[in-house]
């Protein structure tokens, strides 16, 4: 009985070219969208408004991005993918939402009467459009980059960065408008008021809304049912739209009187709940990694003594700190990359056990194992390089000193030890000189006695 073999795509030159060309073209497209958005905002608030709005919008975006990167500690996502998420929100999503919102507002004014767009636009149109264009990035990640999607934490991180980019562009518009419209003594006060409202009280508003879609995408990534996947993403989108609409309604209806009620009784509890979900999912990821590590040690992929170090974030931090103190930052960076490679392999094997990977699972597993092996080699090379730098040879250290311009001190000549004559024994008599008279007489007597002895030893013939 023959077993059906599964064809696994192997890396080819064409696939590698597409893998490099697609991100480049995507970044170019996002950059073009950013330039168009910048031009549209500049035509609305002027160049000075864009500058002031951009500088003020930088205040909240830094802590927000740092918070979502802190959530992604077990398996940090690729930096270029995180950058693409932020650029998607700041450029493409902002441009699309701006064009659709303006067109919808014009249509509402013509259909329902002038001034009605100010009411229905923020409440009914903007939430639907903005959450759709932001959530499109998460859906694209599930379809085209499913390997990078491991669960709920990844969904929240990607959703938060997309929303942070969108909020950054939107803050430039609102802050620039406050700077240009309130000309006079209240100009600075208006900018500060908008900055406090959007950058201090509610910097996580857009990330909180879009995180609902991220949670649905994370559930979909770990499910084997197509219905559950579609339903989870759709439900997350509906919740995001409802929260966004409620937020805009509280700031629009009744003169903004319901804003603090919605802020204190809805948004703050939801934010606390989101933090609880992140902590819970982070502990689940820790359990997944800890369960996979003994198998890695048995297979020879890692050293058994590394299992307790890789099982917790504290152990990993302590490992990197010890390596940094002993061998330097390069070796610590290589160890951090090795830890990430081991974590990715652990998550992939967990997904393989659940059956949520797809037809490319075996190929991805081989790549993950090879990544761990390359990470081990990188750590060894970095450690050997660090030791070579700390213990250079004499010729190498001299050349390094010459290149650095440091003077080379010549070696001091060692003084040769002076030979001291041995003292003559005081009782030993001095040897007589060979030409002295007593010495010749002594020699003649010795020769005479020796000749007589030889004659006596030889018998006569």
Per-residue pLDDT at 183:
62
Q: How far apart are CA 311 and CA 293, in angstroms?
A: 8
Closest alpha carbon to 318 in 332, 331, 329: 332
Q: What is the distance of C-alpha 124 from the center of its chain?
A: 39
Q: What is the pLDDT of residue 118?
A: 82
- Looking at residue 457, its pLDDT comes to 44
CA 322/CA 309 separation, integer angstroms: 12
Phi, psi angle pair for 424, to nearest 5°: -75, 145
Residue 92's pLDDT band, with cuts at 50, 70 and 90, is: very high
Q: Which residues of 362-378 are buried (b: 16+ CB within 10 A; e: fewer)?
A: eebbeebbebbeebbeb
Q: What is the 3-state composition of the chain as percent helix, strand, coil, each rounded to the nearest 5?
A: 80, 0, 20
- Greater confidence, 136 or 400? 136
**Comparison of pLDDT for 97 and 413, the residue scoring more:** 97
Question: What is the pLDDT at residue 431?
Answer: 43
Q: How many C-beta atoms surround the C-beta of residue 53 within 10 A? A: 28
How large a percentage of the chain has pLDDT more than 90? 54
In 38-84, DSSP assigns E strands to none
Please return the burial class of 420, using the count of CB atoms within 10 Å of its CB with bins 0-12, 13-18 and 19+. Answer: exposed
State the DSSP H helix or E strand holding residue 178, giving kind and residue range, or none if neither. helix 152-181
Res 423: pLDDT:
54
Q: What percent of the chain has pLDDT over 70?
A: 79
CA torsion sign for 389, 395, 401, 405 is negative
Between CA 17 and CA 428 the distance in angstroms is 98
pLDDT tens per residue, range 217-238: 999 998 889 899 999 999 999 9
pLDDT per residue as tens digits for the range 355-370: 888 788 889 999 999 9
Distance of CA 402 to the CA centre of its chain: 38
Q: What is the pTM of this model?
A: 0.79
Which of 128-132, 285-289, 392-396 is least confident? Answer: 392-396
Res 69: pLDDT: 93
Is 11's pLDDT higher than 70? no
Q: Which two tokens stand for residue 421?
A: 């004559």
Q: 110: number of CA atoms within 13 Å, CB side? A: 6
Q: How many CB atoms lie within 10 A of CB 18?
A: 11
Nearest residue to 301 via CA among 353, 380, 369: 369
- The answer on pLDDT for 66 being more than 90 is yes
Rounded distance, CA 64 to CA 202, Å? 11
Provide the pLDDT for residue 111. 84
Token pair 């007489």 is found at: 441
21 token code pair: 């060309």
- Among 28-37, 60-69, 90-99, 254-263, the minimum mean pLDDT is found in 254-263
The CA distance from 224 to 213, in Å, is 18
Q: Is the pLDDT of residue 407 over 60?
A: no
Neighbours of 181 (CB within 10 A): 11
- pLDDT band with cut points at 50, 70 and 90 for residue 293: very high
Q: pLDDT digits over 317-357, tens only?
A: 999 999 999 989 999 999 999 999 999 999 999 999 988 88
Q: Please count the residues of the chain.
A: 461
Integer CA distances (angstroms), 77 to 38, 70, 147, 341, 373, in order: 28, 11, 11, 11, 20
User: Any idea which residue has 């499910």 for tokens?
Assistant: 223
Q: Which residue has the higher pLDDT, 251 or 377?
A: 377
Mean of the pLDDT values across residues 94-98? 95
pLDDT computed for residue 400 by the predictor: 45
Residue 173 contacts residue 53 (beta carbons within 8 Å)? yes
Arithmetic mean of pLDDT, 92-105: 93
User: Is 140's pLDDT higher than 90?
Assistant: yes
pLDDT of residue 437: 55
Q: Is the pLDDT of residue 420 over 70?
A: no
């Amino acid at each position: 009985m023959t077993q059906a073999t599964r064809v696994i795509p192997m890396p080819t030159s064409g696939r590698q070219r597409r893998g490099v060309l697609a991100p480049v073209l995507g970044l170019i497209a996002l950059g073009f969208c950013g330039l168009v958005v910048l031009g549209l905002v500049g035509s609305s608030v002027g160049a000075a408004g864009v500058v002031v709005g951009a500088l003020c919008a930088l205040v909240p975006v830094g802590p927000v991005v740092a918070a979502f990167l802190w959530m992604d500690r077990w398996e940090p996502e690729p930096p270029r993918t995180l950058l693409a998420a932020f650029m998607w929100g700041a450029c493409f999503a902002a441009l699309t939402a701006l064009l659709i919102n303006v067109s919808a507002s014009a249509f509402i004014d013509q259909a329902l009467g002038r001034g009605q767009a100010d009411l229905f636009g923020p409440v009914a149109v903007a939430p639907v459009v903005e959450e759709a264009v932001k959530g499109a990035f998460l859906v694209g990640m599930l379809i085209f980059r499913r390997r990078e999607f491991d669960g709920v934490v990844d969904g929240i991180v990607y959703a938060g960065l997309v929303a942070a980019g969108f909020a950054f562009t939107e803050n430039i518009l609102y802050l620039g408008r406050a700077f240009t419209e309130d000309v006079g003594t209240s100009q600075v006060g208006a900018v500060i008021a908008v900055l406090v409202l959007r950058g201090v009280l509610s910097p996580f508003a857009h990330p909180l809304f879009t995180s609902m879609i991220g949670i649905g995408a994370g559930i979909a990534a770990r499910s084997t049912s197509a219905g559950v996947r579609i339903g989870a993403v759709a439900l997350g989108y509906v919740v995001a739209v409802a929260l966004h609409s409620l937020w805009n309604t509280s700031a629009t209806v009744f003169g903004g009187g319901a804003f603090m009620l919605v802020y204190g009784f809805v948004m703050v509890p939801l934010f606390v709940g989101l933090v609880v979900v992140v902590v819970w999912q982070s502990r689940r990821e820790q359990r997944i990694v800890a369960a996979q590590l003994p198998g890695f040690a048995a297979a020879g992929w890692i050293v058994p003594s590394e299992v307790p170090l890789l099982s917790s974030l504290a152990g990993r931090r302590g490992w990197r700190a010890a390596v940094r103190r002993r061998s330097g930052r390069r070796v610590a960076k290589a160890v951090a990359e090795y830890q990430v490679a081991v974590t990715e392999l652990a998550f992939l094997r967990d997904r393989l056990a659940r059956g949520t990977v797809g037809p490319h699972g075996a190929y991805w597993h081989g790549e993950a194992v090879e990544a761990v092996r390359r990470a081990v080699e990188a750590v060894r090379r970095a450690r050997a390089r660090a030791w070579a730098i700390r213990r250079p040879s004499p010729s190498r250290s001299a050349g390094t000193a010459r290149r650095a311009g440091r003077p080379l001190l010549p070696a001091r000549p060692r003084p040769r030890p002076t030979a001291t004559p041995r003292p003559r024994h005081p009782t030993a008599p001095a040897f007589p000189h060979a030409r002295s008279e007593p010495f010749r007489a002594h020699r003649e007597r010795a020769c005479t006695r020796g000749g007589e002895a030889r004659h006596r030893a030889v018998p006569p013939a």
